[in-house]
Amino acid sequence: MNLDPMLLLAAALFSIGLFGALTQQSIVMLMMGLELMLGGIIVAAAAIWHYITPDTAEGQVLVVLAVTVMAVEMAVGFAVVTALFRAREVDVTDLATELRQ
Amino acid sequence: MSEDIVFWVLAVIAVAAGVMVFRFDSMARATYALLLSLLCVGGEVLLLGLDYLGVVIVLMMTIEMAIMAVFMVMYMMNPAGLMPMSMLHNTKGAAVLCALVFAALATGILLVRWPARRGRPPTDPTMALGMSLMGPQMLTMVTLGMALFATIVSTVVLATRRGRYDRFGDDLRSRPADDPVRGGGGR
């Protein structure tokens, strides 16, 4: 086992998540795509720590950062969905176009 | 050798479950597929020797997906997948774009000459992480703490049904509050 397969796994997860984030109309499903993308970043950060810089903890700190971003993204995302649903009874991106204005 | 087998099994399951997230009709199944994919991510992190972070990811994702399932049932039109439905847009364009992104990333990964490994993993990576977060990376830790606090405040503000503008109107100095619900403070 070496670095390349780990990074290829991370790239695959990132790309699948990107597909979900771009194609899903439901905001909750869109958030699932973002979670997959962050999962790919976690794998890449952990692999780079293990195979390139195990003598420093920066790679681990990046994993902590990505995990925190996951939590923040989910909490804020659900709060936005709740606020949007209360205001417009909308839970899909195509019907929330007033956010562009 | 056994590590290779574990890696490839987890990798295949992670990618397959990730694909199935966006192929299932049932939102509940999609949530469990995402949970399976992220549990495999946690497994890969454990395989790399990061015991603490791997366990944190596994525990956090389990709770997170349980909460996500609740929101799915709350908001989705077809949480159980009993009626086939499609909630996608621009699938072809997105598929091409994502294939290009993967190709670009894979090309970079395979062509770049990665630096040689510096040093060896510490005997206790968790201790090294803790010492780093409480020492050289303290600013990162403080920033994360403030970001989490801001998240708590903003999510409560966003999720609450009525704010101060609902009680006071556009002029926040007006008294008494134009509050249709007795008790003040939104109660």
pLDDT digits (tens, 9 = 90+) for B78-116: 656 666 666 778 888 999 999 999 999 999 999 999 998
**How close does chain A come to B145, measured CA to CA in Å?**
10
- Residues with Cβ within 8 Å of A57's Cβ and at least 6 positions away in sequence, in order, are A49, B125, B128, B129, B131, B132, B133, B137
Segment A7-33 shows an average pLDDT of 92
ipTM over 0.95: no
Q: Which two tokens stand for residue B16?
A: 């397959």
pLDDT digits (tens, 9 = 90+) for B127-149: 999 999 999 999 999 999 999 99
In terms of average pLDDT, the best of A37-46, A72-81, B173-182 is A37-46
Distances (CA, A) of B16 to A89, B10, B20, B94, B96: 34, 10, 6, 18, 19
Tell me which chain B residues have a C-beta less than 8 angstroms from the C-beta of A56.
118-119, 132
Is it the case that residue A50 has pLDDT exceeding 70?
yes
The answer for A 33-72 residues in CB contact with B (under 8 A) is 33, 35-36, 39, 42-43, 46-47, 49-58, 60-61, 63-65, 67-68, 70-72
pLDDT digits (tens, 9 = 90+) for B6-50: 999 999 999 999 999 988 877 788 889 999 999 999 999 999 999
Of residues A37 and A29, more confidently modeled:
A37
Binned at pLDDT 50, 70 and 90, residue A44 comes out as very high
